[in-house]
Structure 1
């Protein structure tokens, strides 16, 4: 009888999680895609602004080099002002972090974009910096964070249901099923993360070209990231970010699709 009750509760938890996920859909006006998200754009902006100080503090705060920080802001705002990103409700701001050792860039929901001094130091051109910032802008306008939040809620609900259904207090080994379910859920979310990265690469190709930067500079960025990784990576399926070497082929394909007659002249390298 206890097993039946647990099974019914597990079904209810799983059912509520699935219904909540599939019924919350919004059309992304920028990409034209229908997405599973359950927060508004205004909530995304508020979340990003709230989290920005804490995220900056994890990387040593903002960099004191005002000239370098101003260049990051200028290139970021050029990408926004000269593309249809300017028509979105997001409030973009671009920040240079003080961390000299970490090679990273990321965007919070709503438009707060960060790049570490460690990554900026490895870039050799404005075009490369534009490629990095354009990629992060792509995450924001494609609402990847909102999608990940919705997927995380679904995963938590389903793994919770699995834990309820499989756990037996008289048999500690039954916890293995819940652990396996949690691992599967994590791998599912990693797969979506890689797809988001590739979509952001494609969006960055479009945005950099429209803003007057050469999107081919993104290929050099991938080589920088590959070198920075030092080859110390596991199999690609176990990584949130796709292997930079594999992303190069996707970027080259995106450039050909965006500019079938060739890139215009005069682009900033």
Structure 2
């Protein structure tokens, strides 16, 4: 009993320290005005993004060696930033095409470095569709989703450690740690889905503000669903919402920003 009580006391202290550390890291988003728990300043996000950009590009075959294609997405990306709420952000946006011809992907790293693979670019038929993809990724940067995820992961790691201390049996400690980590991972998946839906909303808003047709983002969702061959993972166990779910949310955003 004493041993159990000691473990619970230690776990409680760890929970309090972890939660205090998480909620004390509150910053106001310079574009949305939203209060967020983040552990990086915008300047640190920019520095981190610039430092990691080359490594991320290397994972997808490096940059695509065609200046005209690179200039195309830079033109569209900077047009979206300049003519939308994103212009109020402190981030240093730049846009890059990656040489990978088969992977269908686009992503943003903290601070404004945005990438799209050649594989995805080849699937897009119009400038509006490309603007939809880039607007979505700009939304991840404006939403500070990477910084939020870093802070959440740090919190969840601390809570998982506390849970492991509380429930572990000295004779089978691994099982407690496994269950704690499983719970932490499932909580973190929800945050990922919410980030994707928020970025879709930002993307629609920025497209409308810049003069692009936001319905093109619906076309991109249809393309992604077709590209998956119907084998996309169930939404519950994926960090990305299903294309059908995203389609309904995008339609709602179009109606909201057009009024």
Establish whether TM, by shorter chain, passes 0.5.
yes
Q: Distance in 2 between matches of 1:129 and 1:234?
A: 24
2:251 aligned with 1:252: yes
Query: 1:113 deviation in Å?
Result: 0.2
When the two structures are aligned, how many residues end up with a matched partner? 258
Query: 1:159 deviation in Å?
Result: 0.3
2:83 aligned with 1:82: yes
Q: Counterpart of 2:194 in 1: which secondary structure?
A: helix
Assess if the C-alpha contact under 8 Å between 2:139 and 2:200 holds in 1.
Answer: yes
Q: Distance in 1 between matches of 2:138 and 2:233?
A: 27
Q: Distance in 1 between matches of 2:26 and 2:73?
A: 34
Query: 1:243 deviation in Å?
Result: 0.5
Query: 1:6 deviation in Å?
Result: 2.4
Assess if the C-alpha contact under 8 Å between 2:193 and 2:240 holds in 1.
Answer: yes
- What root-mean-square deviation, in Å, do the aligned CA atoms of Structure 1 and Structure 2 show? 1.2
Question: What is residue 182 of structure 2 aligned with on the other side?
Answer: 183
Q: Distance in 2 between matches of 1:177 and 1:235?
A: 27
Question: Structure 2 unaligned runs (5+)?
Answer: none
Assess if the C-alpha contact under 8 Å between 2:163 and 2:177 holds in 1.
Answer: yes
Alignment of 1:1-269 (within 5 A): 1-169=2-170, 171-172=171-172, 174-260=173-259
TM-score, scaled to structure 2? 0.96
Q: Counterpart of 2:54 in 1: which secondary structure?
A: helix
Assess if the C-alpha contact under 8 Å between 1:190 and 1:240 holds in 2.
Answer: yes
Assess if the C-alpha contact under 8 Å between 1:166 and 1:175 holds in 2.
Answer: no
TM-score, scaled to structure 1? 0.93
Q: Distance in 1 between matches of 2:15 and 2:252?
A: 40
Assess if the C-alpha contact under 8 Å between 1:76 and 1:134 holds in 2.
Answer: yes
Query: 1:245 deviation in Å?
Result: 1.7
What do residues 139-183 of structure 1 show as CA deviations (whole Å, max 9, x unaligned)? Answer: 1011111111111011000001111222233x22x4222211211
Q: Distance in 2 between matches of 1:61 and 1:230?
A: 27
Q: Counterpart of 2:236 in 1: which secondary structure?
A: helix
